[in-house]
Homo-oligomer: A and B are copies of this chain.
Amino acid sequence: MTLLDELVRLLGAPNVLTGADAESYLTDWRGRYTGAALAVVRPGSTQEVAAVMQWSNQHNVPVVPQGGNTGLCGGATPDHSGRALVLSLGRLNRIRSIDIDNDTMVVEAGCILQTVQQAARDADRLFPLSLAAEGSCTIGGNLATNAGGTQVLRYGNARDLVLGLEVVTADGQVWQGLRGLRKDNTGYDLRDLFIGSEGTLGVITAATLKLYPLPVAQCTALVGINSVQDAVALLSVARKGFGPALTGFELIAGNCLKAVNDCFPQQRLPFEGSSAQLPWYALLELSDAESADHARERFETIIGEVIESGLVIDAVIAENIAQSKALWHLRESIPLAEKMQGKSIKHDVSVPVSLMAEFIKTTNQAVQDQFPGLGHVIFGHLGDGNLHYNITRGSQLSEDALLALQDQVYELVHNSVYRLGGSISAEHGVGQLKRDVLPQYKDPVEMALMHRIKAVFDPKGLMNPGKVLVQGTHP
């Protein structure tokens, strides 16, 4: 008990949780992983995080950093041994500063993403990272997993939105790297090494984020198309015609929109007749620096051209913000509708945009051949080559029968991704979920370098062990 006493002395009793108080930290939010922990600690400052890491280093106690606990790959859930400490960053939740002229803000890791977005907005700026969990995920977790979301086409992934970091190392030192510089070529890029490393190399405690001007207007259009290849061609036209004003390009399979309409009849589809029966749809978003009228005019011009050329079959352009939101809401309701229709086997994959049609065609065919009768729910961020390719039980299988096929389906889809030069985790990370299969799909030289970096940053193997890498598999 002396171990915990020492933590209580460092952090105060209310910030060292055990028993029932710790429970909610030990299961991931989808309920897929449950672990055990020596305790959950809630340090309130970078210095306290450093003290915890020194303590862990001294006593050889593994540490599992945790933000909002909204990850999708079990990256923030401890193993069953009960040896690890869960390090919750939730109390490091200050917006430290906003520098309007520099278009930057310094935030602590435990800030909720929505709070960060709002603080930027209050300063007449945009922090563009946006994703479904934004009401409860933390910016620290977003950076640890290099989160993606809906604005990547224009603004990039989480890593592209960061200028500087403050990090506590495995042995409890603090790297003061909160630079607010857009150009700094003085040595190795440690920032990007910590971003996306899922807490296995160090603990991100704060970050300097890039801000952008708020767009004057946003406008959305939903278009119906005949094929994925046509959607790819449309993306090319849209990138040329709209330039960087194009901030969203989502691909949606026809059956996804139908499912939304079935589950939520109050959400009406904006198409009727044959236009409501098309195999594919795309949702386009413009962010305009000029005016809502200008955005709509641009849509009308370019979409008029592609309807004339036959690339687009039908289209609806939002006439106001409410209509834009309603179109986005259709897209955002797909996962909910999918859930209401039963469990599914989900994939978060990417392939080169040019191979998207081939990926969908050949993978659908292989699923059909190997598991006749299964269905699919396909949607994603086409502009980023990122697809949520989900397999459903179709009309005949039970949920249990579907889930019994899970590993085989994973393997089929991941092999298909790999064959086309894609990634088995586009935006969710590796965590525990994909750790064991990762070496099958990565270059062996790359895997070896990753293990060597891990050994340098975390020589005792105490930083979020068992995540990303299978420890001990490389000397």
Contact = CB atoms under 8 A, between A and B. Distances in A.
Contacts of A157: 182-183, 185
A438 interface: yes
Interface residues of A, number: 98
Interface in A75-108: 99-104
Interface string A183-210: 1111111101101110001000000000
Interface stretch (A8-16, A17-25, A390-398, A417-425): A417-425
A456 interface: yes
A146 interface: yes
Contact of A421 (B179, B195, B352): B179
B186 A425 contact: yes
A121 interface: no
A376 to B, nearest CB: 20
Contact of A354 (B101, B152, B241, B422): B101
Interface string A229-257: 00011011001111111000000000000
A385 B381 CA distance: 33
Interface string A59-86: 0000000000000000000000000000
A180 interface: yes
B243 A101 contact: no
Interface stretch (A169-177, A274-282, A323-331): A169-177
A446 interface: yes
A466 to B, nearest CB: 14
A56 interface: no
Contacts of A425: 184-186
Contacts of A103: 239, 353
Given A101-B236, A445-B169, A423 B181 contact: yes
Nearest to A356: B101
Contact of A287 (B193, B233, B243): B243
A145 interface: yes
A239 B215 CA distance: 10
Given A213-B239, A422-B181, A453-B453, A430 B186 contact: yes
Given A101-B233, A184-B423, A188-B454, 9 more contacts: A160-B160, A175-B445, A184-B350, A184-B425, A186-B442, A188-B453, A189-B197, A215-B243, A242-B289
Interface of A: 99-104, 145-146, 148, 152, 154, 156-157, 159-160, 169, 173-177, 179-190, 192-193, 195-197, 201, 212-215, 232-233, 235-236, 239-245, 287-290, 298, 350-355, 381, 383-386, 421-430, 434, 438, 441-443, 445-447, 449-450, 452-457, 468-469
